[in-house]
Amino acid sequence: MLDRTLVILKPSAIQRGLIGEIIRRFERKGLLLAGLKMVWLNDEILSEHYAHLKEKPFFQRVKDSMRVCPVIVCCWKGKDAAQVVRTLTGITNSREALPGTIRGDFSMSMQENILHASDSPETAVVELQRFFNEDELFDYNMSLISNLYANNEI
């Protein structure tokens, strides 16, 4: 059973020309791209997305930083996709994120940390609904699936 998870390439990724590099890393890992679009987010959707931060002093600043230019939202599919993507992403504070992770390799910032990744399969379901219509997410066969997983893993 393959799960889906949400990734947002933040303005820090777009501005720094990291779109291809980030997508390459998820592809190389063996995740399946199930949806992708560019969108200019507004304060309303960001307030919902970052509702867990609304008491924090940096709430508005974080939301504003997500609106300086369009972002790329994408859906990746794979076994334990949310966890796998979070591992590739690295921890929130990029200065402490491990080398080899995306944040660890490309960012010096807590806020400008290149990408958002859903923190659990349950969150991923809610977040994918927030950013995608169902007809923007695609189910298709991955011809190399038997090279990516053992029979008993999927």
Catalytic residues: 116
Q: Smallest gap, in angstroms, from Cβ of residue 109 to ligand ADP?
A: 8
The first and second tokens of residue 23, run together, are 């997508």
- Residue 7: strand pairing partners: 74, 117
Residue placing its CB nearer to ligand ADP in the complex, 58 or 138: 58
Residue placing its CB nearer to ligand ADP in the complex, 93 or 142: 93
Which residue, among 123, 100, 110, has the nearest Cα to 7 in the 3D structure? 123
Which residues make up the interface to ligand ADP (CB under 6 A)?
53, 58, 62, 92, 110-111, 113, 116, 119
Q: Smallest gap, in angstroms, from Cβ of residue 9 to ligand ADP?
A: 12
Q: Smallest gap, in angstroms, from Cβ of residue 92 to ligand ADP?
A: 3
Alpha helices in the chain (DSSP H): 11-15, 19-29, 43-49, 59-65, 81-89, 102-106, 121-131, 145-148
Residue placing its CB nearer to ligand ADP in the complex, 105 or 142: 105
Contact call for residues 88 and 29 (beta carbons, < 8 A): yes
